[in-house]
Amino acid sequence: MSRGRSDSGGWLRLCLVVFAIVSALGVCGPALYWRFKKGITFHNSNLSCPPCLCDCPPPLSLFKLAPGLANLSVSDCGSNDPDLKEEMEKQFVDLLTEELKLQEAVAEEHTRHMNITLAEAKRVASQYQREADKCITATETCEQARERAQAILLREKKLTSVWEQRAHQMGWEGE
């Protein structure tokens, strides 16, 4: 039985080795192919391409694409936007105060949500408690009925026993 396990382990190793080799060739193969091909054409001047003669314009600079970009500075940032300018002029304390107010509003919303969730949980728990009380009452009623039935059965057995004794005394031989 262990022979089969070692055979399957050997097959697994072989499959993993083949997978690793195929993966390595898939990743490195194209680069090696082009390097090899370039090396052959580099050494064989008959197969090499003549140098390209192209009349390409020089690359455009950023200043030619957006001439106004060079004139901008950090101090000019947002000077035309009144809302942004007003926001930038606020004092640091005002910004902190506003942040605290936002956090307080978020905390209040979170508290309100938690209170609603708690009230819903209490309502559902109360409903389950009422259902449990109904089940307990029904179980108690059934238990009382079972006890009464058991007492009646015991009386009937005693009465049957008395009648059987009388029947035996009168000559009945029974079953």
pLDDT per residue as tens digits for the range 50-81 = 667 777 766 666 666 666 555 555 555 556 77
| pLDDT at 151 (0 to 100) | 96
Q: Mean pLDDT across the stretch 83-102? A: 79
Enter the pTM of the model: 0.35
Per-residue pLDDT reduced to its tens digit, 113-154: 999 999 999 999 999 999 999 999 999 999 999 999 999 999
Q: Is the dihedral of CA 68, 70, 74, 75 positive or negative?
A: negative
Choose the weakest-confidence range: 14-18, 46-50, 60-64, 105-109.
46-50
Confidence class of residue 107 from pLDDT cuts 50, 70 and 90? very high
| pLDDT at 63 (0 to 100) | 63
DSSP assignments along the chain, one per residue? -HHHHHHHHHHHHHHHHHHHHHHHHHHHHHHHHHHHHHHHHHH-TTSSPPPP---PPPPPPHHHH-GGGGG--GGGTTTT-HHHHHHHHS-HHHHHHHHHHHHHHHHHHHHHHHHHHHHHHHHHHHHHHHHHHHHHHHHHHHHHHHHHHHHHHHHHHHHHHHHHHHHHHTT----
Q: Is the dihedral of CA 154, 156, 157, 163 positive or negative?
A: positive
| pLDDT at 140 (0 to 100) | 95
Most confident range (mean pLDDT) of 9-13, 36-40, 147-151 is 147-151
